[in-house]
Amino acid sequence: MTQERDHEPDSRADKSKTPSDLPTTTPAQPEPRQKTPSAEPTTSEFVAAAATPEYAKLRHAFRSFAFPMTIAGLTSYFVYVVLSIYATDAMATPLFGSLNVGMTLGLAQFAVTYVWTALYVRYATRRLDPIAADLKARLVGEEPA
């Protein structure tokens, strides 16, 4: 590959061309913005979409799920931390061999996080995505699905 590159003429090394020898092109003029699926929405269109009842419905649907789940998750994590600090005897209680209550609850946090993630994905797919798809379709000028 280097041999091929070494044998190709280098246009940068050719100093014999003058600006009049180079092809002249006029810069392309930007086309006026049209409402097509590939056109990007403007800031005013985003602001207008945020003022619609559908956007308010989307925000309400998201918040009614996200805030309680966030509170539940943080509570779960903080309870585990507080128990590990103040209830050391209870957390050190053996369950199976060298596996104790504290280790079991700590590992359960991973399972709980997975379950919460799966619940959110399911909720978002069923409730949030259809509303968001309609808003997006209206914003970019497509037909809603």
* Number of domains the chain is built from: 1
Phi, psi of 65 (to 5 degrees): -100, -45
Residues of the chain with pLDDT > 70, as a percent, come to: 71
Residues in Cβ contact with 95 at an 8 Å cutoff, skipping those fewer than 6 apart: 101, 104
Specify if 16 maps to a domain: no
Residue 106 has pLDDT above 90, yes or no: yes
Phi, psi of 81 (to 5 degrees): -65, -45
Residue 121 has pLDDT above 70, yes or no: yes
Expressed as residue numbers, the domain containing 71 is 40-140
Q: Is-contact 93 100, C-beta < 8 A?
A: yes
Q: Which residue has the higher pLDDT, 5 or 43?
A: 43
Specify if 92 maps to a domain: yes
Phi, psi of 94 (to 5 degrees): -70, 140
CA distance 69 to 79: 15
Residues of the chain with pLDDT > 90, as a percent, come to: 55
Given this model, what pLDDT does residue 66 score? 95
Residue 23 has pLDDT above 80, yes or no: no
Given this model, what pLDDT does residue 37 score? 53
Specify if 22 maps to a domain: no
Q: Which residue has the higher pLDDT, 134 or 7?
A: 134
